Chains A and B, each alone.
Chain A
């Protein structure tokens, strides 16, 4: 079976964020404002627009492992969310070919009162797997978590580490072409971290494209072959990992 071409094309992406203050969320205050007329209130609308990303363009193809660096609030996570399809561009265009797996939040779709097995099913369904596909993977996921009989118990009885194991195992059980990660996911005890690392690596290898946002330069050096620096929503051009030092020096 020939694999379909995997690519990410972003053209002139601009993303603005309306920030709704508490005031802006109250209908009464909204109505009161209408009643007193818009002139006075224009400047105090309670919602401000923040430009999270402006004029970003990039092209990634199969085999690209892009490291996103930048300070807090520079737009890395926003870019990842836009690439996942959750945030709509205000201007420009995003085109992603291939199955996307955002590993932005491990706790997505996890229900503490449900059992481990139920959580695997639910999370798998959210990830786009069919019930049959989940059944086929169930053993493998269960084995990987190493939780054995605990899988039949509610998640809330787990320790934080056990819950993290489960979430990690399900989240990484997908077959994806485009992997989006906000910080390298490192969970569990030393033993688990070792096998988790192996699993993540093989996932990255199978995926056509990895986009990893991280503050850990060693990590970026280790996994990425390209790097892009973001600052205040403006992105540098995508450059080779060899220029990372140069890019950091500009900061």
Chain B
């Protein structure tokens, strides 16, 4: 079912044509953003159907986690709450968004198999669906962020435009990772498990709870080569009134460009097959 008035599907005509078709899919997904939004908001609504708090349940449990870990780390590391609490709060909320876009990316095409196998909807529609769904959830968690920033007074020193720029750069990166795992999970059913493990491991390797420390060379290596550190730092840094290193932006931009180029090529080459994988 489609409103398109004209549909043309052709056999393989060389790689260049495959890229053109992949680009056509991407372009056709733009007018379908409304549909992606409807699907995403329906996902959120149906996931929490019948519960009173709805998606705020996750917000609530996050808030408790923030309180617990905030107090604990401030005691353990002898750092003031003023410093720990906002750091942990922003860390947990944005890490949640980053990791869920990637983990739920595994299901992007698998869950859409019904629609993919009998409509001409652009495949990118479902990538946006995953992304938008997690942005809706993030909007709910903004309560925590606003509360913390106001309570601890960071709203006076924060650099909001820079934080939003960081969020955009982060989204540009998680979206290609999400697409990459979506394609590979459709093909190989082991991928979701691997992705979940990798994300869990990354949570501990990324300064979500703990403060990054550049004094030890080993630690510096772990941080510099961790893309998630740069993502998190580009959003959290400016909100806490710190300027992220220039290196962070270089890494994020380079990673977005290279990541999208590689993933888009993968998409172009596997696009015809994805529906058969499912």
A–B complex contacts, Cβ < 8 Å, 19 sampled: A4-B5, A25-B188, A82-B9, A84-B119, A86-B116, A88-B271, A89-B11, A92-B11, A93-B8, A94-B10, A95-B6, A95-B7, A99-B2, A101-B1, A114-B46, A121-B38, A125-B39, A126-B35, A174-B1
Interface residues of A in 73-130 (CB under 8 A from B): 81-82, 84-102, 104-105, 107-109, 111, 113-114, 118, 121-122, 125-130
Would A30 and B188 count as touching, CB distance under 8 A?
A: yes
Q: Which residue of B lies closest to A6 (CB)?
A: B5
* Residues of chain B lying within 8 A (CB to CB) of residue A81: 117-118
* Residues of chain A lying within 8 A (CB to CB) of residue B8: 93-96
**Residue A28 at the chain B interface, CB threshold 8 Å:** yes
A201 to B169, CA, bound (A): 53
Would B42 and A122 count as touching, CB distance under 8 A?
A: yes
Q: Which residue of A lies closest to B12 (CB)?
A: A90
A91-B12, A128-B1 are known contacts. Are A96 and B189 too (CB-CB below 8 A)? no
Would B276 and A100 count as touching, CB distance under 8 A?
A: no
**Residue A214 at the chain B interface, CB threshold 8 Å:** no
Would A99 and B5 count as touching, CB distance under 8 A?
A: yes
- How many residue pairs link A and B with beta carbons under 8 A? The number is 134
> How many chain B residues touch the partner (CB < 8 A)?
40
**Residue A27 at the chain B interface, CB threshold 8 Å:** yes
| Cβ proximity bits A203-243 to B, threshold 8 Å, 1 near / 0 not | 00000000000000000000000000000000000000000
Would A20 and B10 count as touching, CB distance under 8 A?
A: no
A107 to B117, CA, bound (A): 13
Interface residues of B in 23-70 (CB under 8 A from A): 34-35, 38-39, 42, 45-46, 49
- Tell me the minimal C-beta distance from A167 to chain B in angstroms: 13
Would B119 and A126 count as touching, CB distance under 8 A?
A: yes
**Residue B222 at the chain A interface, CB threshold 8 Å:** no
Report which B residues bind A (CB closer than 8 A).
Answer: 1-12, 34-35, 38-39, 42, 45-46, 49, 114-121, 187-191, 194, 271-273, 275-277
Would A94 and B7 count as touching, CB distance under 8 A?
A: yes
* Residues of chain A lying within 8 A (CB to CB) of residue B117: 81, 86-87
CB contact between B11 and one of A14, A30, A105, A111 (< 8 Å): that residue:
A14
> How large, as a class, is the contact surface on chain A?
35 or more
* Residues of chain B lying within 8 A (CB to CB) of residue A94: 7-10
CB contact between A100 and one of B2, B12, B38, B187 (< 8 Å): that residue:
B2
A27-B188, A126-B35 are known contacts. Are A108 and B115 too (CB-CB below 8 A)? yes
* Residues of chain A lying within 8 A (CB to CB) of residue B271: 88
Q: Which residue of B lies closest to A121 (CB)?
A: B38
Interface residues of A in 22-36 (CB under 8 A from B): 25-28, 30
A26-B190, A84-B119, A100-B120 are known contacts. Are A89 and B9 too (CB-CB below 8 A)? yes
